[in-house]
Amino acid sequence: MTELPANLVIRRVAPRRTLVLTTVAVVGGLLALGASFEAGRYQGGYDVIAAARQRAQLQATAARLEKDNSALRKQVTDLDTTRVGLAQERTELAHTIGELQSQVASQAQQLAFYRGVVSHGVSQDDLAMGLKIQQLTITADSVSGEGSSSGGNSSSGAGSVSGAGGVTGGDSSAGAVRASPSVNASAAGTGAGAGSAGAATETGVAGGVASTSAAGAAHGADGRFDVHLTLLQTANPQAAMSGTFQLSIEGRSQGKTETLDLAALTDGKLSTQPFSFRYYQSLEQHIALPAGFSPERLTVEVRAGGKPVTPLIQTFPWKVESP
């Protein structure tokens, strides 16, 4: 067996201490490296404390700007909501203005209509009936026929009536009924209600009858005539008025007083004539007088359909207008 040298020293190995020393050395090196880095930056003019303060200020500024940005986003949202609401309000306001303008136009139309009625006067019978005879003229008939009418309730809203108290108007929203100021002649008439004890005399038909010719021929060709009649509604013209009217002529034949109704005047073809209008209606009825009959007065009887009121009866002197 080999002997060991006398100067040989045997020591126990401590691995933990080695690990600790190694760690301390590494950490010390890192700290030295960091200290050297900071020293270099400091020598170069970099201040760690000032940088930290600046960073804190920037963070505060960023937080404040973010808060302001959130407030601005909220304001933008509120403004968008307000803009949408204003647009809706403008639309509703335009619609309301349109309705008001339509109402004003309708009221102006009604006002013009009532001015035409009031300017010529309306009797109590006319008010009860809701209409009046605005005009009546008689002309010699050149072409025979049954009758015709034109009224103020057509879709075009146009219509005209000439003569005293002439009316122009229609049923459209833009139309109007107005009294013509160029009237300077009227004819006397009498009006009475059915079932009344006596006949009431009425001077001047509510729009008047157009001026007659000086000669005033009593007969047309073969005793044929045209009776032109204009009816005007005196009530609120919001709905159409309908009914019937009939004519009768009082005169003398062979020295005796005789009255001819519409059937006798139309050879039995008609007994009444219907009407329907909103503001006014111009009617024309062709009649034929028998030979030897001398007319003196013409009576118009108007009955409103669906109204239990006294019919409007008005008598006019027989005067033939110049063609």
pLDDT in tens, 159-218: 333 333 333 344 433 333 333 333 233 333 333 333 333 333 333 333 333 333 333 344
Residue with the two structure tokens 């063609």: 323
* Highest mean pLDDT: which range of 15-24, 129-138, 198-207, 291-300: 291-300
Distance CA(135)–CA(7), nearest Å, equals: 162
| pLDDT recorded at residue 149 | 56
pLDDT-derived band at 278, boundaries 50, 70, 90: confident
pTM value?
0.45
Which tokens in the block code for residue 93? Answer: 């306001």
Tens of pLDDT along 25-78? 999 999 999 888 878 877 877 777 888 888 999 999 999 999 999 999 999 999
**CA atoms of 145 and 266, how far apart (whole Å):** 9
Q: With bands split at pLDDT 50, 70 and 90, how would you rate the model's confidence at 143?
A: low
SS (H, E, C) the chain: CCCCCCCCCCCCCCHHHHHHHHHHHHHHHHHHHHHHHHHHHHHCCCCHHHHHHHHHHHHHHHHHHHHHHHHHHHHHHHHHHHHHHHHHHHHHHHHHHHHHHHHHHHHHHHHHHHHHHHHHCCCHHHHHHCEEEEEEEEEECCCCCCEEEEECCCCCCCCECCCCCCEECCCCCCCCCEECCCCCCCCCEEEEECCCCCCEEECCCCCCCCCCCCCCCCCCHHHEEEEEEEEEECCCCCCCEEEEEEEEEEEEECCEEEEEEHHHHCCCCCCCEEEEECCEEEEEEEEECCCCEEEEEEEEEEEECCCCCCCEEEEEECCEECC
Q: Which of 221, 114, 99, 88 is nearest to 169 (CA)?
A: 114
What is the band of 6 on the pLDDT scale with cuts at 50, 70, 90?
A: confident
Task: Count the Cβ atoms, other than its own, within 10 Å of residue 315.
Answer: 19
